[in-house]
Amino acid sequence: MVMAPSVITTEDICVNDNFYHCPKDPKLTLDTDHGVNAVSLPRASAAAKQLVLDVLRKRVADIDVATCEPGEEDAFYVADLGEVYRQHLRWKLNMSRVKPFYAVKCNPDPQILRLMAKLGNGFDCASKAEIDLVLKMGVDPSRIIYAQPCKTRSYLRYAAEKGVKQMTFDNADELYKIKADFPDAELYLRILTDDSDSLCRLSMKFGASLESARQLLELARELELKVVGVSFHVGSGAEDPNAFLKAVQDARYVFDQAAEVGFDLHTLDVGGGFCDETFEKFAAVVSNAVDVYFPPHIRIIAEPGRYYVASAFTLAAHVIARRTVRDPADPSRDAYMLYLNDGVYGNFSNIIFDHQHPVAQILTSSDDGNSSDGSCEPRAIDYSIWGPTCDGIDMISQRITLPGLVDVGDWLYFENMGAYTRCSATRFNGFPDNHDVIYISSEAGASALLEH
């Protein structure tokens, strides 16, 4: 079992064992006794951002780059578990029928997993290692779906040993493997979807076509395997809510085919693809579709990942070098190349693997930001931002305008860095792949869960 970090309640922000707690503040925390609505959630989230900034600045103020030990000025995160809690309330407010199974691959941070477990969520695991992470939290195996249609045989036997019965398949060979290694598994047929408008397309790799679905169901019946549901995934970072509608309609078609073959399916897995910015629009489509096509006794689950954690993590990085260059757009002006102690081989791996565009903001700067003409208007200065490795692709921003002159020793911060960042970092060039995380809780509800 993972031990809970200490949580301190004081009138001020305090720290103990890298865990900060925000006191109850009616302007900040949600009053769940009087209801949560679409207005209170974003207000609480906006107020919590100031707490995050305070913690970032407190940490940076304690670092003396002139005398610190190697690594003390490395990039670090502030993770607001209160933001995860708010996202969970938001989910329940908009999709109460759909039970979340958190996608561990997105961010396997132990404190995130602890909170997910305390919230009663299930877990979408894709490997033995992810299953182990969740089981070590004391989670019952029935709350895990092994959502990997093409599994290693030894992992299948391990899942059988641990009692992780729910799993997906999309091909005949997988059924033969399951028959040999885990014939008691509870299977979900993963079907192909249209994910052409998603950031990360998965249909090129996984999913059975509707034309092949009946054949697979008949084979499963012949092998005396237990098919209990249908799953789909419209792609990570989906942009078209109608993709969910079409996928639900296709799932209904497969449910009917399964009944004809002799299966009594009881679960629909609508996968992931939910994003913070478009969640309400997508949730409305999904909720309406499942209500239209599936009666109340059918269980509906989902596999959200980035939705829960992207906005909860903020990354701070140190400016280790700077070069003055001519502005390519205006050779009469200076522009600057900034080099950070983190890059695309590290926590900015979401640029390469997840098609993200992190936006730099100034955390600390020795420059007053005023224009050279003495006005109070901040100077707009253009930068390109680079990581620390020797590889030319290690670029964070090709061009960004910031208010003022950023120098060596200053710090930048990047919001929305909780999804597909730390988990896909590497040790290329010998740089560390596991940076410090300072955990905070801006919600009393999250703090209460984590204290026990």
- Quickly list DSSP for 69-93: PTTTTS-EEEEEHHHHHHHHHHHHH
Residue type, 220: A
Tell me the mean pLDDT in the region 416-439.
81
Distance of CA 84 to the CA centre of its chain: 10
pLDDT, position 45? 76
pLDDT, position 189? 97
What is the spatial distance between Cα 361 and Cα 402, in angstroms, rounded to a whole number? Answer: 7
pLDDT, position 228? 98
Q: What share of the chain in percent tops pLDDT 70?
A: 84
Highest mean pLDDT, choosing among 38-42, 197-201, 240-244, 293-297 = 293-297
What is the spatial distance between Cα 441 and Cα 451, in angstroms, rounded to a whole number? Answer: 11
pLDDT, position 326? 84
Confidence of residue 74 (pLDDT cuts 50, 70, 90): very high
Number of Cβ within a 10 Å radius of residue 204: 9
pLDDT, position 55? 95
* Residue 214 near residue 261, CB atoms below 8 Å: yes
Q: Assign domain 312-426 to a CATH class.
A: mainly beta
* Residue 355 near residue 380, CB atoms below 8 Å: no
| Interstrand relation of 436-441 and 76-80 (parallel, antiparallel or unpaired) | parallel
Confidence of residue 16 (pLDDT cuts 50, 70, 90): very low
pLDDT, position 314? 97
| pLDDT above 90 for 36 | no
Q: What one-character DSSP code corresponds to residue 370? A: B
pLDDT, position 26? 38
pLDDT, position 28? 45
Tens digits of per-residue pLDDT, 388-424?
888 888 899 999 999 989 999 999 999 999 998 888 7
pLDDT, position 2? 34
| Interstrand relation of 76-80 and 313-327 (parallel, antiparallel or unpaired) | antiparallel
Work out the mean pLDDT of the chain and round it to a whole number.
86
Q: Which of 15-24, 36-45, 129-138, 382-391 has the lowest mean pLDDT?
A: 15-24
Distance of CA 287 to the CA centre of its chain: 22
Active site residue 390: yes
* Residue 85 near residue 445, CB atoms below 8 Å: yes
Tens digits of per-residue pLDDT, 233-278?
987 555 788 889 999 999 999 999 999 999 999 999 999 989 888 9
pLDDT, position 218? 98
| Interstrand relation of 226-231 and 19-21 (parallel, antiparallel or unpaired) | unpaired
| pLDDT above 70 for 10 | no
| pLDDT above 90 for 355 | no
| pLDDT above 50 for 198 | no
What is the spatial distance between Cα 287 and Cα 180, in angstroms, rounded to a whole number? Answer: 38
What is the spatial distance between Cα 177 and Cα 166, in angstroms, rounded to a whole number? Answer: 15
Tell me the mean pLDDT in the region 177-201.
81
User: Which candidate in 14, 125, 275, 390 is catalytic?
Assistant: 390
DSSP, collapsed to helix, strand or coil, labels residue 57 as: helix
321: left (phi over 0), alpha (psi -120 to 50) or beta: beta
| pLDDT above 70 for 24 | no
What is the spatial distance between Cα 220 and Cα 211, in angstroms, rounded to a whole number? Answer: 16
Tell me the mean pLDDT in the region 327-351.
87
pLDDT, position 123? 98
Confidence of residue 430 (pLDDT cuts 50, 70, 90): low
* Phi, psi of 404, rounded to the nearest 5 degrees: 120, 175
Confidence of residue 5 (pLDDT cuts 50, 70, 90): very low
DSSP-assigned beta bridge partners for residue 336: 324, 383
* Phi, psi of 253, rounded to the nearest 5 degrees: -60, -40
What is the spatial distance between Cα 297 and Cα 183, in angstroms, rounded to a whole number? Answer: 26
For the four alpha carbons of 216, 217, 218 and 224, in that order, the dihedral sign comes to positive
Residue type, 196: S
pLDDT, position 146? 98
Tell me the mean pLDDT in the region 171-196.
91
